[in-house]
Amino acid sequence: MLSKKPPLLQSFLSLVSRRVSHLAQQQYDVIVVGGGHAGTEAAAAAARVGAETLLVTQKINTVGALSCNPSLGGVGKGHLVKEVDALDGLCGRAGDWAGIHFSILNRSKGPAVWGPRAQLDRQRYREFIQSELLSTPGLTVLEGSVEELLVTEPNPEEPGRHRVTGIRLANGSHPISASSVVLTTGTFLSGSLFMGQTTSPGGRIGDAPSSAGLSHTLRERLGLRIGRLRTGTPPRIVKDSVDLSLADLHPPDSHPTPFSFLNTRTRCKPEEQLPCYLTRTNAGVERVVRESLHLNHHIQEDIKGPRYCPSIESRVLRFPGRRHQVWLEPEGVTSDLLYPQGLSMTMPPDIQLRLIREIPAMHRAEIHTPGYGVQYDFVCPTQLSPALQVKSTQGLFLAGQINGTTGYEEAAAQGLWAGVNAARWARAMPPVALSRTESYIGVLIDDLVSRGVTEPYRMFTSRAEFRTYLRPDNADLRLTLKGFEEVGCVSSLRYQEAVRVRDSLQDALAALQALAQSSSKWRKKLPDIRMSENKCTILSGVELLQHNVSFEMLASAFPECLSPYIEFSQRLNIEAVYNLHCDKQKKEMERIQKEENMSLPQDIDYFSLPVSLSQEVREILDRVRPSTLGSAARLHGITPAAVVNLLGYVVHTGQRERIRHRNQPDQKEEKEEEHSARNASLPQ
């Protein structure tokens, strides 16, 4: 994958414009609006599933742009990158191509919470994403601003009050129709930028604001509940103006670990990697923040910002008297800028300069672009199905910040899944959902659609109940196989590799299990290790791995049966320890999966449902409209009794459905259905 060079940006642009100029086609399966992390993954995924796809973006040049921090991954977020990659998404491979500083966070804390992370070269990242999109069959990129979402009457055979039919562009051209539309507008939906006391419309500095038409359609025509969130970005600092000798040097890992399961190395050579630097705020910074509060509109507004990615203003106000960390991160191989992570701020530019110069390493620093705040609309995500489709509107999918999340990885994960389902909808295939028992993407989407957000949502490993199973190392086993066999978003090349890995790991574990002998025999073979004195205990190779003996050691002692698996040493070490714990969680996972497989129809009138439910429970169910029994059970205020009564209802309606099928001609009659016919004839 890495051997493929992205074509020069110039030729890419000309190719696109050629495509655009020949845009005879006005009918697509899927239209994706927005070219950020969510939009690019959505478009690529939709095309992989086989949909004729159009990506509409305001500026082709900014497709794949890293609007904020020049980095990818981390703890929890790295898990998402691995999962997106396992489903054949773009961001993992793009990270391997563009990374200039790789490190595994949490190295000392156990493989379930390792956080693969990389600093990125902004330009390389953009180039990779753009060239990938260009070489994806069935995908067209178009420059334009969407003025309006075209909506019509719903298909009566499916739930929903509206149906999306396409878009109209701002330049007044004729409409472009599509079966599905994926909106990934990021911070552009009614976005406004804040710096000091000035406010201007827009979603990102330097880019035109998006049209008000889209926001209007969502709010007025479709009647969606909309909320408002805020975020911010730090000023970019001129690298030469910073005295880096006054900051702590943080080197990357000496051996970069690629994100993608398809890559064995990164584009950047180990020795070519760039370091990061760490410095801290001080009392001077705090003083500047306090003195300039009256000049800071953004911070005074009562809009929810993220608790975990706060501006320097809110950090100082909430935790005064502390020295907060500021990371100085490279922006690219050739870039002469530094990104001061931790210094997101919205005060007037002259005060921003005063503030950063309080920090010794930056006492003569120059600001290239000042920091600013953004406020934007988001659609309350409880109005979405687990397929990320707006429940009331057939064919309309949302992904990324429009759903109230923050972060590239969260956006990419949703984009991929929305793209998959948009394509499936267009091709009349049933929607697919990921369970929180099998992936962080499932946790993310389930949290969003069943609980909603009150602040920008970011992934943490503490959100995953089955953290010991949802590890970065096994994302391919969890998702690639399913992605090919059930979802259709994975190439056969990747699938074959995942099958090879799965089979090898199984064979290796079987070989280890077969290596069972008494501890005295083990001691003879491996004199270096200490064992308990009990001689007659029989131990298998797997059990040795569970007790700090490495696979490499065993392989060197038993080369004939273990050496074929040496490339999987690390994975085997992890599997052996964690399998023990995952087995314990199996039952709970099975229970959740069972409940998630029982879907609740979206058009139920909970107030007239003929089952015993309290008024309070009915109100909650009516408000949230959970898609499955599983998500209903997790809602706050839903009693176990209510779940069982709903279960009874689901079983009942399921049987009635079967009767309906039976009564249609050309259907085979079965005994079981006769039985249910009796039950269904009972009065409701």
Partner 1 sequence: MLPSVCRGVWRAAVHTLRTSRGAPPCRLLSTCDGVPAGLADADTIFALSSGHGRCGVAVVRVSGPSSATALRRMAGLRCSLPPPRAALLRSITDPQGKEVLDRGLVIWFPAPHSFTGEDSVEFHIHGGTAVITAVLQALGSVPGMRPADAGEFTRRAFQAGKLGLTEVEGLGDLIHAETEAQRRQALRQMSGELGHLYQDWSHKLKRCLAHVEAFIDFSEDELIEDGVLNQVDRSVCNLQAEMERHLKDERKGERLRSGVQVVIAGATNAGKSSLLNKLCQRPAAIVSPIAGTTRDVVETALDIGGFPVLLSDTAGLRDSPDLVEREGVRRALERVEQADLTLVVVDCAHVPADAQQAAAFLQGHLRSVLPTVKQRETAFPADRCLLVLNKTDLLPEDERRTLDEELRQVSGLPPVCLISCHTNEGLQDFLTLLHVRVKTLCGDPLSGAPTLTQARHRAHLQQCVAALAQYKHYRNIDLALAAEGVRLALTSLGRITGRVGAEEILDIIFKDFCIGK
Stated length of the chain: 684
Near partner 1 by CB under 8 A: residue from 486, 616, 657, 670: 616
Determine the Cα–Cα distance for residues 541 and 554; give it in Å rounded to an integer: 8
Near partner 1 by CB under 8 A: residue from 367, 444, 553, 600: 553
Tokens of 246: 């006054």
Handedness of CA 610, 613, 616, 621 (dihedral sign): negative
Return the residues of window 5-64 that contact partner 1 according to CB under 8 A: none
Work out whether 552 is an interface residue with partner 1 (CB under 8 A). yes
Which of the stretches 320-328, 417-425, 509-517, 657-665 binds partner 1 when contact is defined by CB under 8 A?
A: 320-328
Near partner 1 by CB under 8 A: residue from 205, 481, 647, 677: 647
Query: Phi and psi of 30, rounded to 5°?
Result: -130, 135
Which of the stretches 103-111, 183-191, 211-219, 330-338 binds partner 1 when contact is defined by CB under 8 A?
A: 103-111
For the chain, the C-alpha Rg in angstroms (whole number) is 27
Return the residues of window 651-680 that contact partner 1 according to CB under 8 A: 651-652, 679
Return the residues of window 573-612 that contact partner 1 according to CB under 8 A: 573, 577-578, 580-581, 583-584, 586-587, 611-612
Q: Is 452 helix (H, G, I), strand (E, B) or coil?
A: coil
Nearest distance in Å: CB 494, partner 1: 25
Work out whether 310 is an interface residue with partner 1 (CB under 8 A). yes
Determine the Cα–Cα distance for residues 93 and 114; give it in Å rounded to an integer: 19
Q: Which of 423, 557, 299, 532 is nearest to 47 (CA)?
A: 423
Which of the stretches 14-22, 24-32, 73-81, 89-97 binds partner 1 when contact is defined by CB under 8 A?
A: 73-81
Work out whether 681 is an interface residue with partner 1 (CB under 8 A). no
Quick note: the x/- pattern for partner 1 over 396-435, rule CB under 8 A, is ----------------------------------------
Q: Count interface residues toward partner 1 (CB under 8 A).
A: 87
Near partner 1 by CB under 8 A: residue from 33, 46, 100, 539: 539
Which residues lie below 8 Å from residue 359, measured CB to CB, with a gap of 6+?
279, 280, 281, 282, 284, 285, 326
Q: Which is nearer to partner 1, 177 or 546 (CB)?
A: 546
Work out whether 307 is an interface residue with partner 1 (CB under 8 A). yes
Quick note: the x/- pattern for partner 1 over 340-369, rule CB under 8 A, is -xx---------------------------
Q: Strands, E, within 385-493: which ranges?
A: 393-394, 396-398
Return the residues of window 229-268 that contact partner 1 according to CB under 8 A: none
Task: Count the Cβ atoms, other than its own, within 10 Å of residue 142.
Answer: 18
Q: Hey, which residues does 33 pair with through a beta bridge?
A: 56, 183
Which of the stretches 127-135, 187-195, 380-388, 638-646 binds partner 1 when contact is defined by CB under 8 A?
A: 638-646
Nearest distance in Å: CB 583, partner 1: 6
Residue listed under structure tokens 């409880």? 382
Tokens of 109: 């804390």
Task: Count the Cβ atoms, other than its own, within 10 Å of residue 18.
Answer: 9
161, exposed or middle or buried, with CB in 10 Å at 0-12, 13-18, 19+?
A: middle
Return the residues of window 158-217 that contact partner 1 according to CB under 8 A: none
Work out whether 308 is an interface residue with partner 1 (CB under 8 A). yes
Which residues lie below 8 Å from residue 479, measured CB to CB, with a gap of 6+?
83, 86, 87, 434, 438, 439
Nearest distance in Å: CB 110, partner 1: 3
Handedness of CA 566, 570, 576, 579 (dihedral sign): negative
Near partner 1 by CB under 8 A: residue from 4, 23, 225, 319: 319
